[in-house]
Amino acid sequence: MNYFSQPKGAMKSVENADVRFESVAAPAKTADVMSVFGPGMMITGNIVCAGALEIFGRVTGEVHSAQLTICEGAKVEGKIVAQDTVIKGEFKGTIHGNTVRLQGTAIVDGEIYNRSLTIEQNAQFEGVARRLDRPVDAPSADPLKGDAPMQPMFTPETVG
């Protein structure tokens, strides 16, 4: 018998299955959660992420995150508000961040409002950099918790 298999007759049929959907509470530490937009994704609109976010694809719009990384090959256009921002890809627009790092492969065109700015060798930056008067806060996960729980895509009656 396989470790993952059950003995014959132990499995319930789908018709008699008791399927329940429960809402899952957000983890206690949202900074430990990593969200990733893959290289094939193209997003137009506003993004709010209470934890860390890595972008490999293309985004046009506003991005609010605690920690943001625009990876090599990614293209983002719009506005960024993040406590920590690392740019390895391309960005055009405005950045508001406590710490902003432009790594060697970064191509940035726009305005950077920061408390700490690091520009590595070979990074390309055209625009202006200004000091922030007050630090940027991370987005709160509370508005996300207030949403109605997700509805199931299927029920036991529709399966079978």
User: pLDDT class for 47, splitting at 50, 70, 90?
Assistant: very high
- pLDDT more than 70, % of the chain: 68
pLDDT of residue 134: 87
CB atoms within 10 A of CB 127: 13
Residue 111 CB coordination number (10 Å): 14
pLDDT band at residue 7 using 50, 70 and 90 as cut-offs: low
pLDDT of res. 32: 64
Q: How far is residue 137's CA from residue 44's CA, in Å, rounded to a whole number?
A: 24
Q: Could you tell me which residue, 36 or 141, shows the higher pLDDT?
A: 36
* Alpha helix stretches (DSSP H) within 6-150: 142-145
Q: Rounded CA gap, 153 and 151, in Å?
A: 6
| Chain segment 61-116, per-residue pLDDT in tens | 999 999 999 999 999 999 999 999 999 999 999 999 999 999 999 999 999 999 99
Tell me the pTM. 0.69
Query: Which pLDDT score, from 0 to 100, does residue 139 have?
Result: 86
Give the pLDDT band of residue 142 (cuts 50, 70, 90): low
What is the percent of the chain where pLDDT is above 90?
A: 59
